[in-house]
């Protein structure tokens, strides 16, 4: 492999100034005045007193940040979320829907801002809601230093300003998921799709953490420093740890920061106090800092264990859920960033004329390394790595090293002149002749750091999609008199990029040749069935509806709901809805798009009959999706006695998985507090929601827990897992549920369903009550769960005279679910419970009925329909083919549909 030095290429110079490159270069602002207290409040200056007093500034120059936009405001889509107090820039690309707020800037706009990034375009990684700290509360913000220390202390921000030296450092923060979209295109990871703009650089002002730890005095045997924030999340407060010797090393530059670019921290960036860890992944820089704990072992925080790891590449999402010791293995924890680079110009979709006046094009982008290492070279190839060109590198960070020793910036000493560590990104560029670009198929870039670690050619796929850093490839398309450039991907769900195009065409992105066809390799484009488009609206309806009108119909009178911005009146369907009137009341006044799109095509075809109008644009933005409900329910500090809510998604934490058979497990969830009950009536169901980790699309299914309705603190859900097979795809929800680790949350909502058992023979179906003398319960597989709820209610009430016949069909004896529990219910209730298990694939030792639940069995055990007044009700739940077969057989035996209840 040959490295070529062209005449247009110069070796990097240690103190190269920031390059002025078109279209909008990273700009250097001259520092010619004291900016030590530009944005300090009077109170802050008074608290700080004489410490770090501004000193005369020597004549020098280094980059200053771009001005923040004065017109940012709370965006309409955030108004109904817990982040309704946070102003934001509308240019940011949302990666995880409306809430929580995870964003990156458009890549070219990030590059154009220059070396320093404004707070408006700085990337944001939030796991949940943003704590709301008012300006008059900032100086009183308190945090503690505790654990293995001689002198545990509590400090306020005012103490931090008054008692400790302040410093200002330029630091680049990088999310460990930067460029993850590329991994997700190859194969879905458990993380959402960052593009190549998951990084930003700012001037951070605060206190060196070593100064704080020296005040507390770590004890002998202490090895780690744990941080915890104030952001309350489903799995506890966000927390992580770093090694103590790193925190004590001034070369590492770890700060407890209270300013960003001279301003009080923005809420999204940790207002009023955060940790900033240079050279390491962004996940270590805990925001809204409340606690520093010195320990002998790494943090046991859920987010430290299950976030920010690079597991071995053979561990897939399904395997990972059952490997708790693998997650806890500190060898797989990631701290220092790896070396990475990306091309910013040419932009994705940019076109360059081959017939214009320009003879060359300035290809340019960014690079960074981790652990304080310097990027020492950036190389470009136009022939897939056969030969390389050496790019120019600019290191704006070095300009701060020229500042005088006593220089202050934003109230902090600019203390970087002595340090060899590099904490910031650098910029590279190379002028390439247009003719050379026209002869190439692509442009690829790789960077190397001072330890000679170079970006790899190929991707290392991992289950969380972290630290993706293969060569960054931009494809060149030759079109009439111009070149068009195509980046690998676009962030979030934005379409575009050569990787998606190649994959859709059947290319193998893992073949080592970027998905291009290789001799002897078969490529088959995935055939997609044409989508059947069902119109959900009445095209004659032209009414525009406001959010105020919608909210007037948010109760049980004329319930309206929204699907994809269209408004529907559910009044006519209250009785006929399969989920019962409660399903519609639960959606009243809400956006029900997520729940609705799991429905059948028949249900969708009915929608024009209920369509009454379109929500106006402002109301669409205000009306949040189910994301809002989920967060509002969890953030409510009041201890509700009932867990389930009809209009809000509420989170419960997965605490155990119990295997019942090869494909069936009981999933146990911890409710919000130990005395809380689920609040699910007998015979009703609840909805469970998980999100696809890549698309953020909601996966929603209904289940009937097997928990006792009076049980407290726990929820037990029996689930049959439908795994993928070579012949067909498995169940999205069941496989997603099986793949999440212990400690993960799941959203719940309810109750739903038309049927409820009221006790002692009384039940309600829709709005009608009915007396039952005998239940005929026909079920198969996990269809036993709603049957079990009713059966248990009947059998546990000694004064309930209702008789029950249970016909339970399965393949093998192992497949009989809840067998021991049902046998226990039969003890003492033989006079009112008849139980038959039939197996379609029994062992020779099986002595019970054999075969499926067929006409012979039903005719023998159930018999023909009795005369009206017999008060029999048939409850049916099982696989769809079984339900269809039972329905047809009972129909031939004379049974009426009003006496059949399908769960």
Residues identified as active-site: 175, 307-308
d(CA 338, CA 453): 9
DSSP 88: B
Best CA proximity match to 63, nearest among 122, 14, 11, 118: 118
User: What is the rounded radius of gyration, in angstroms, for the C-alpha atoms of the chain?
Assistant: 32
Check: CB of residue 203 under 8 Å from CB of residue 168.
yes
Phi, psi of 163 (to 5 degrees): -105, -5
Q: Write the CA distances from 181 to 95, 195, 496, 646, integer angstroms.
A: 10, 6, 11, 35
Cβ neighbour number for residue 8 with a 10 Å cutoff? 13
Best CA proximity match to 591, nearest among 535, 551, 631: 551
Number of H helices, E strands in the chain: 23, 44
Check: CB of residue 410 under 8 Å from CB of residue 39.
yes
Helix 819-826 and helix 784-796: axis angle, to 10°?
Answer: 20
Check: CB of residue 48 under 8 Å from CB of residue 161.
yes
Q: How far apart, in Å, do the first and last CA atoms of the chain sit?
A: 66
d(CA 805, CA 188): 46
Q: Write the CA distances from 654 to 434, 701, 771, 800, integer angstroms.
A: 57, 17, 38, 35
Is omega for the bond preceding 346 within 30 degrees of 0, making it cis? yes
Residue 490, token pair as written in the block: 């676009």
Which residues neighbour 294 within 8 Å (Cβ) at sequence distance 6 or greater? 145, 146, 147, 148, 149, 213, 216, 218, 219, 222, 224, 225, 226, 244
Best CA proximity match to 384, nearest among 444, 461, 330: 444
Check: CB of residue 55 under 8 Å from CB of residue 407.
yes
Look at the block and give the residue holding tokens 């990787």: 499
Q: Is 669 helix (H, G, I), strand (E, B) or coil?
A: strand
Q: Write the CA distances from 468 to 17, 194, 246, 460, integer angstroms.
A: 29, 10, 25, 7
Q: Is 482 exposed, middle or buried (0-12, 13-18, 19+ CB in 10 A)?
A: middle
Largest separation between any pair of C-alpha atoms in the chain: 103
Q: Write the CA distances from 510 to 469, 498, 513, 518, 526, integer angstroms.
A: 15, 14, 8, 12, 16
- The DSSP bridge partners found for residue 653 are 670, 745
């Amino acid at each position: 492999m040959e490295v070529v030095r062209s005449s247009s290429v110069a070796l990097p110079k240690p103190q190269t100034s920031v390059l002025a490159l078109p279209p909008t270069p990273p700009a250097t602002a001259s520092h010619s005045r004291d900016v030590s207290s530009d944005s300090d409040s009077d109170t802050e200056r008074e608290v700080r007193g004489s410490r770090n007093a501004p000193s005369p500034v020597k004549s020098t120059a280094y980059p200053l940040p771009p001005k923040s936009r004065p017109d940012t405001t709370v965006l309409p889509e955030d108004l109904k979320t817990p982040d309704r107090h946070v102003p934001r820039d509308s240019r940011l690309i949302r990666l995880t829907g409306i809430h929580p707020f995870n964003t990156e800037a458009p890549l070219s706009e990030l590059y154009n801002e220059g070396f320093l990034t404004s707070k408006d375009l700085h990337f944001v990684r939030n796991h949940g809601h943003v704590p709301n700290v008012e300006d008059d509360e900032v100086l009183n913000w308190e945090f503690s230093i505790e654990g293995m220390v001689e002198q545990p202390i509590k400090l306020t921000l005012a103490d931090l300003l008054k008692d400790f030296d302040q410093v200002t450092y330029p630091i680049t923060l990088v999310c460990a998921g930067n460029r993850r979209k590329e991994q997700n295109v190859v194969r879905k990871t458990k993380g959402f799709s960052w593009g190549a703009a998951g990084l930003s650089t700012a001037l951070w002002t605060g206190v060196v953490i070593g100064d704080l730890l020296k005040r507390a005095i770590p004890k002998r045997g202490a090895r780690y420093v744990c941080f915890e924030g104030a952001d309350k999340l489903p799995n506890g407060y966000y927390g992580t740890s770093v090694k103590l010797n790193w925190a004590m090393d001034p070369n590492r530059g770890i700060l407890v920061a209270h300013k960003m670019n001279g301003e009080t921290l923005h809420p999204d960036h940790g207002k009023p106090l955060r940790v900033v860890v240079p050279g390491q992944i962004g996940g270590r820089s805990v925001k809204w800092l409340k606690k520093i704990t010195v320990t002998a072992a790494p943090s046991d925080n859920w987010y430290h264990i299950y976030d920010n790891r690079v597991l071995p590449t053979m561990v897939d999402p399904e395997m990972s859920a059952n490997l708790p010791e693998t997650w806890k293995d500190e060898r797989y924890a990631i701290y220092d960033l790896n070396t990475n680079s990306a091309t910013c110009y040419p932009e994705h979709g940019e076109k360059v004329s081959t017939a214009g006046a320009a003879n060359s094009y300035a290809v340019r982008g960014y690079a960074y390394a981790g652990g304080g290492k310097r990027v020492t070279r950036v190389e470009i190839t136009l022939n897939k790595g056969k030969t390389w060109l050496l790019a120019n590198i600019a290191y704006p960070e070095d300009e701060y090293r020229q500042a005088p020793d006593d220089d202050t910036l934003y109230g902090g000493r600019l203390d970087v002149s002595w340090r060899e560590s590099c904490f910031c990104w650098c910029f590279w560029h190379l002028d390439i002749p247009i003719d050379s670009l026209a002869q190439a198929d692509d442009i690829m870039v790789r960077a190397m750091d001072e330890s000679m670690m170079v970006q790899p050619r190929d991707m290392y796929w991992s289950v969380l999609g972290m630290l993706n850093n293969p060569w960054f490839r931009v494809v060149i398309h030759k079109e009439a008199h111009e070149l068009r450039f195509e980046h690998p991907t676009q962030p979030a769900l934005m379409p575009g990029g050569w990787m998606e195009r190649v994959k859709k065409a059947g290319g193998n992105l893992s073949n080592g040749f970027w998905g291009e066809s290789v001799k002897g390799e078969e490529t088959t484009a995935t055939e997609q069935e044409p989508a059947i488009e069902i119109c959900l609206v009445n095209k004659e309806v032209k009414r525009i509806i406001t959010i105020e009108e919608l909210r007037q119909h948010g109760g049980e009178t004329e319930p309206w709901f929204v699907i994809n911005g269209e408004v529907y009146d559910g009044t006519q369907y209250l009785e006929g809805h399969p989920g019962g009137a409660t399903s519609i009341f639960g959606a009243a006044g809400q956006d029900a798009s997520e729940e609705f799109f799991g429905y059948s095509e028949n249900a969708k075809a009915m929608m024009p009959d209920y369509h009454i109008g379109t929500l106006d644009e402002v109301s669409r933005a205000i009306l949040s999706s189910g994301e809002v409900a989920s967060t509002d329910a969890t953030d409510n500090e009041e201890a509700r006695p009932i867990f389930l809510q009809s209009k809000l998604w509420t989170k419960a934490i997965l605490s155990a998985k119990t295997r019942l058979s090869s494909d069936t497990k009981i999933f146990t969830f911890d409710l919000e507090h130990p005395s809380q009950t689920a609040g699910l009536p007998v015979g009703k169901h609840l909805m469970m929601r998980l999100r696809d980790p890549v698309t953020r699309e909601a996966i929603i299914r209904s289940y009937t827990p097997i928990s006792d309705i009076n049980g407290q603190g726990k929820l037990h859900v029996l689930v049959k897992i439908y795994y993928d097979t070579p012949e067909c795809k498995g169940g999205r929800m069941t496989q997603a549920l099986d793949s999440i680790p212990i400690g993960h949350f799941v959203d719940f909502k309810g109750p739903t369903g038309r049927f409820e058992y009221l006790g002692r023979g009384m039940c309600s179906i829709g709005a009608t009550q009915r007396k039952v003398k005998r239940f005929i319960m026909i079920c198969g597989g996990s269809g036993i769960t709603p049957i079990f709820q009713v059966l248990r209610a009947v059998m546990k009430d000694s004064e309930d005279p209702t008789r029950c016949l249970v016909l339970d069909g399965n393949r093998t004896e192992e497949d009989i679910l809840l067998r021991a529990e049902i046998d226990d219910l039969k003890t003492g209730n033989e006079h009112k419970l008849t139980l038959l298990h039939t197996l379609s694939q029994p062992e020779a030792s099986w002595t019970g009925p054999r075969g499926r639940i067929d006409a012979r069995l039903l005719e023998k055990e159930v018999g023909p329909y009795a005369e009206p007044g017999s008060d029999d009700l048939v409850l049916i739940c099982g696989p769809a083919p079984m339900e269809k077969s039972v329905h047809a057989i009972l129909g031939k035996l004379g049974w009426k549909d009003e006496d059949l209840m399908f769960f």
